[in-house]
Amino acid sequence: MAETNACPTCKSNKIWEMTQKRYIFTMSVPPLIVIILIAVLVEPVFIAFMPAIILTNIILAKRKAPILFCKECRHQSTSTIF
């Protein structure tokens, strides 16, 4: 099967790809900011959860990324052939 650059639902060529590095960054930064705030304001032991969040997101990114999005109809796919 040939790789296409068009969305299978709306046939649009406006496709955006979320790479593995971007997935890890966007899924790790907000939780890490919250953990740092909780550690500063409540209890420093919450910093111990930071490596677990990063490792979990790396494992998930290896299975899910790259994610392809159609900008027209918002269809998404986790395969490289859209």
27 inside domain: yes
Domains contained in the chain, number: 1
62 inside domain: yes
Q: How far apart are CA 9 and CA 42, in angstroms?
A: 48
1 inside domain: no
33 inside domain: yes
9 inside domain: no
Range of the domain at 40: 15-77
Give the position of tokens 């406006």.
14
71 inside domain: yes
pTM above 0.85, yes or no: no
36 inside domain: yes
Per-residue pLDDT of the chain (82 residues), as tens digits, is: 345 567 778 888 888 888 888 888 888 899 999 999 999 999 889 889 889 999 998 898 888 768 888 888 888 877 655 5
Q: How far apart are CA 28 and CA 48, in angstroms?
A: 15
